[in-house]
Amino acid sequence: MSPQTQPQAHAVTRVRMAYARIEAAARPEVWIDLRPRTEVEEEARTIDTRLAAGEQLPLAGRLFAAKGNIDVAGLPTTAGCPAYAYRPEADAPLIARLRKAGAIVLGTTNLDQFATGLVGTRSPHGAVRNAIDPQRISGGSSSGSAVAVALGIVDFALGTDTAGSGRVPAAFNGIVGLKPTRGLVPTDGVVPACASVDCVTVFARTLPEAAQALAHMASPPASDLPPLPQRTPGPWRIAVPPRDQLGELDEGWAQAYEAAAAQLHAAGAELRTIDLAPFTEAAAMLYEGAFVAERYTAVGSFVDKLIDEGGAGLDPTVAGIITRARDIPAHQLFADQDRLAALRTRALAELGDADALLLPTTPGHPTLAEVAADPLGSNARLGRFTNSTNLFDLAAVAVPAGEVAGLPFGVMLIGPAFTDERLALIARALEVPPTRIAVVGAHLSGQPLNGQLLALGAQLERTTETAPVYRLHALSTEPPKPGLVHVGEGGTAIEAEVWRLPAEGLGRLLTALPRPMALGRVVLADGSDVPGFLCEPGALDGARDITAYGGWRAYLSSLDA
């Protein structure tokens, strides 16, 4: 995938805002370990200096998080089990590549212990709650990484995917999950779940952001990749299963899936029906067959030893899955390999020359209580459509596809190995142009009214500045807020954040907007303009002109000095 080259300046400011968002979000279960803020700010300061000197850093100032089974130098790698912790001497290669490009890692995120689960609740650090509805699961095992992105704390985050862990949390939190072809991203420095099928994945709020990160993580170079599977000319060909093969779905999910298929068809794609049976039969084999024995190979001896010592810090569901895998006979593995090969042949024959298979990412979205009542059954249901992807050596991308009952609904596009870029291109047809809003005051991250944006499902897109045509005044309001006024000549660039939110969210925000605030077009530093909060000129009588501070936060800091 072609990387973008637009750098993110002012890395120090972005780091400070990220730590403010961490505090404001009050979601400690998202993280296992955060790097010290002073250390991260110093790294950001170095990046700003290198940029100012003319160095090319395509990911400069991009903030990211890494799942807790990926090595980050200076932090323990725990895989969600404190007793397993070790201190890596160096970053995993994929982390090193991102940092070389200017990206900054904030810390390691919570996960289903030893990456065993699709629920995000199997951790001694606590269940990671969904970013939109805290009563529901975030999805696992890459739970913390997905929620850190959805809450606008980081630009992108890294997960891993064996059974769907890089896609299920994306669907539940309304973000993008790229599951690349196996081997495209190195897994050195990653604690294995099932080493032969593990993949490192990327979460981001948009496809371009995810693709940009993946481009810097991937190896070998594109010139060394095998040729793409050949396709005959014509429109995109999208495989879809008959409705009855999708099985039981949550209320409204079948209609949402059909709407996504219709959207692709309206964009010019050709839809063709296939038999989904080989995919779902293989999916059941990942945990019910002999392949789960590889999880024992990865960490089984450690788990046995810890159980003998009392089992402190072990999740009982994870421990049960891993220890039961110890006794699977070798002959079953060979039999399952033969069966899987036959199912893969059938599955690829069903796909034929289709460019992608479109599926719901999951059959439904359970609550925390539902998973607690049936941890194994809930997990098995969630993997119905995702479990077979890595077993069949396929690529996948999970993207948002609207909402059902106010919660995100997501779909996957699955295709042959090394068609990653093609899948992302097709997925663009499912994107709904976001509504954007620029804020400069009390709605900024960490400020008193930021919760109004988060409650509407808003996600931070970027930190920027306005064009130098505005003046800023401190208004006498409760809570305190500034008034932004367009003046043309004599104006200054003002610090701003751009947030993405659902179209209906903007309408709800506008109806609750008190005077003297008004919604207008705010011109940004790059010349683009988006809706944003402005102030009625009549409200400025007696208001202090604080333009010289360059932004609301700087003004507030001066009051504390």
Binned average pLDDT, 10 residues per bin, the chain of 561 residues: 42 88 92 97 95 92 96 98 97 97 98 98 98 96 97 94 98 96 95 97 93 90 66 87 96 97 94 97 94 96 97 96 96 97 97 96 98 96 98 97 92 95 93 83 88 78 91 89 90 92 72 79 91 86 92 89 64
Task: Give pTM, 2 decimals.
Answer: 0.82
- Amino acid 477: pLDDT: 84
Q: Residues 141, 143, 145, 378: which is the catalytic one?
A: 141
Confirm if 387 and 340 have CB atoms less than 8 A apart: no
Q: Residues 67, 123, 143, 179: which is the catalytic one?
A: 67
Catalytic (active site) residue 165: yes
Q: pLDDT tens, 203-259?
A: 998 899 999 999 999 986 655 667 766 677 789 999 999 999 999 999 999 999 999
Radius of gyration of the chain measured on its C-alpha atoms: 24
The distance of Cα 194 from the centroid of its chain, to the nearest Å, equals 22
- Amino acid 317: pLDDT: 97
Q: Where are the alpha helices (DSSP H) in 34-151?
A: 37-52, 93-100, 143-150
Q: Which domains does the chain have, with CATH numbers?
A: 11-220+229-234+351-430 (3.90.1300.10), 435-560 (3.10.490.10)
Quickly tell me which residue has 């994306």 as its tokens.
Answer: 170
Q: Residues 165, 378, 388, 445: which is the catalytic one?
A: 165
Q: Which of 270, 274, 273 is nearest to 235 (CA)?
A: 270
CA distance 72 to 407: 33
Catalytic (active site) residue 481: no
Q: pLDDT tens, 41-66?
A: 999 999 999 998 999 999 998 999 99
DSSP 352-400: TT-SEEEEES-S---BHHHHHH-HHHHHHHHTTTTTHHHHTTEEEEEEE
Q: Which of 240, 449, 249 is nearest to 364 (CA)?
A: 249
Catalytic (active site) residue 67: yes
What are 314's two structure tokens? 């072990």
Q: Which of 222, 224, 225 is nearest to 2 (CA)?
A: 222
Exposure string over 533-551, b if 16+ CB within 10 A, otherwise e: bbbeeebbeebeebbebeb
- Amino acid 441: pLDDT: 92
Q: pLDDT tens, 387-436?
A: 999 999 999 999 999 999 989 999 999 999 999 999 999 999 998 766 88
3-state secondary structure of 340: helix
Q: Which of 344, 436, 435 is nearest to 394 (CA)?
A: 344
Quickly tell me which residue has 């999740």 as its tokens.
Answer: 315
Q: Which residues are 435's β-sheet partners?
A: 501
Supply φ then ψ for residue 112, to 5 degrees: -60, 125
What are 385's two structure tokens? 């459509």
What are the C-alpha distances in Å from 521 to residues 470, 506, 517, 535?
12, 13, 13, 12
Q: Long-range contacts for 550-554 (Cβ within 8 Å, ≥24 apart)?
A: 550/492, 550/493, 550/494, 550/495, 551/440, 551/472, 551/494, 551/495, 551/496, 552/440, 552/441, 552/442, 552/444, 552/447, 552/472, 552/481, 552/482, 552/495, 553/444, 553/495, 554/495
What are 211's two structure tokens? 């693709």
Q: Beta strand 459-465 with 495-501: parallel, antiparallel or unpaired?
A: antiparallel
- Amino acid 7: pLDDT: 39
Q: 174: alpha, beta or left, given left = phi > 0 and alpha = psi -120 to 50? A: left
Q: pLDDT tens, 262-284?
A: 999 999 999 999 999 999 999 99
Element (H, E) at 279: helix 277-288
Give the amino acid at 513. L
3-state secondary structure of 466: strand
- Amino acid 448: pLDDT: 86
What are the C-alpha distances in Å from 335 to residues 290, 297, 349, 505?
9, 19, 22, 53
- Amino acid 229: pLDDT: 65
Supply φ then ψ for residue 102, to 5 degrees: 105, 0
